[in-house]
């Protein structure tokens, strides 16, 4: 195998979607045994398959792909909407189903959207702007549901999957912004240089979705 043109570097999002991603890749003929353990290693190279797996934080996956540190990336549409980078979005992988919502305290009688906390400040700003509503946005890095409970913000914009986090914190969905799934993205240069290999992987993935 010619490593320069054919070796594939795939950036995977650590966390919730990793297990489903690995299942899908395995169903598409890419063995991911090394990634499955609970190790702390961040990059695995499989010479035999001509693949390396880069394990990054979801918000950073588009950066690895855009700058060509990875050829391909697997990441949620929420992250792509927030980061808006230069890459090709190749495929909706139909995994990691969740939705992006505006949520607030269940027992509040008057709704207030003056201050919104979110991990997605750009996306939040765009959404409220498109609705013609003025807001202040507070950027948080996680556990966003804490913001209304501590009076840091009136409401939040965040992902909901099972709904458990909202329920256990006495919050409710107020507005759905959009449904979210996981996507496959490609570096633009890699897509030209390694097209045959990438297209074949995409076809295999389509077959196994
Ligand atoms: C996500 C999301 C919500 C939660 C929703 O956070 O931001 O907080 O999951 O899931 P649920 O509807 O199934 O309860 P995550 O657990 O990834 O961690 P974070 O809050 O640190 O971002």
Q: Residues 119, 39: contact at Cβ < 8 Å?
A: no
Task: Give the pocket of ligand 1 (CB within 6 Å).
Answer: 15-16, 142-145, 158-165
Task: Check residue 109 and give its pLDDT.
Answer: 78
Distance from Cα 160 to the centre of ligand 1, integer Å: 7
pLDDT of residue 5 exceeding 60: no
In the chain the domains, ranked by start, together with CATH numbers, are 3-96+181-208 (3.40.190.10), 98-180 (3.40.190.10)
Q: Indicate which residue's Cα is closest to atom 3 of ligand 1.
A: 159
At 39, the pLDDT band (50, 70, 90 cuts) reads confident
Number of the ligand 1 atom closest to the C-alpha atom of 16? 17
Tens of pLDDT along 117-173? 999 999 999 999 999 999 999 999 999 999 999 999 999 999 999 999 999 999 999
Q: Residues 174, 131: contact at Cβ < 8 Å?
A: no
Q: Residues 9, 69: contact at Cβ < 8 Å?
A: yes
Note the helical H segments in 7-104. Answer: 18-27, 33-36, 61-66, 77-83
Distance from Cα 177 to the centre of ligand 1, integer Å: 16
Q: Indicate which residue's Cα is closest to atom 17 of ligand 1.
A: 16
Distance from Cα 58 to the centre of ligand 1, integer Å: 13
User: For residue 7, how far is the Cα from the chain centroid?
Assistant: 24
Q: Indicate which residue's Cα is closest to atom 22 of ligand 1.
A: 142
Helix/strand/coil percent split, the chain, to 5: 35, 30, 35
Q: Residues 184, 91: contact at Cβ < 8 Å?
A: yes
Distance from Cα 90 to the centre of ligand 1, integer Å: 26
Distance from Cα 159 to the centre of ligand 1, integer Å: 6
Distance from Cα 30 to the centre of ligand 1, integer Å: 28
Please name the residues in contact with 79: beta carbons below 8 A apart, sequence gap of 6 or more: 13, 58, 59, 61, 62
Number of the ligand 1 atom closest to the C-alpha atom of 160? 12
Tens of pLDDT along 87-97? 999 999 999 99
Reported ipTM: the value is: 0.97
């Amino acid at each position: 195998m010619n490593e320069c043109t054919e070796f594939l570097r795939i950036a995977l999002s650590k966390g919730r979607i990793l297990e489903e991603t690995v299942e899908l890749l395995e169903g598409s003929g890419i063995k991911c045994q090394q990634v499955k353990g609970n190790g702390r290693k961040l990059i695995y190279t499989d010479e035999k398959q001509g693949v390396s797996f880069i394990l990054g934080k979801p918000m950073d996956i588009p950066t690895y792909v855009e700058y060509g540190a990875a050829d391909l990336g697997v990441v949620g549409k929420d992250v792509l909407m927030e980061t808006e980078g230069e890459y090709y979005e190749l495929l909706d992988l139909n995994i990691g189903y969740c939705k992006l919502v505006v949520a607030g305290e269940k027992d509040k009688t008057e709704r207030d959207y003056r201050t919104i906390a979110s991990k997605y400040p750009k996306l939040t700003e765009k959404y409220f702007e498109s609705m013609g509503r003025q807001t202040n946005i507070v950027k948080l890095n996680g556990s966003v549901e804490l913001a209304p409970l501590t009076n840091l913000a009136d409401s939040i914009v965040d992902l909901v999957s099972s709904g458990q986090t909202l329920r256990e914190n006495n919050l409710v969905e107020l507005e759905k912004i959009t449904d979210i799934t996981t996507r496959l993205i490609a570096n633009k240069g890699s897509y030209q240089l390694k097209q045959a290999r990438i297209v074949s992987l995409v076809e295999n993935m389509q077959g196994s979705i």
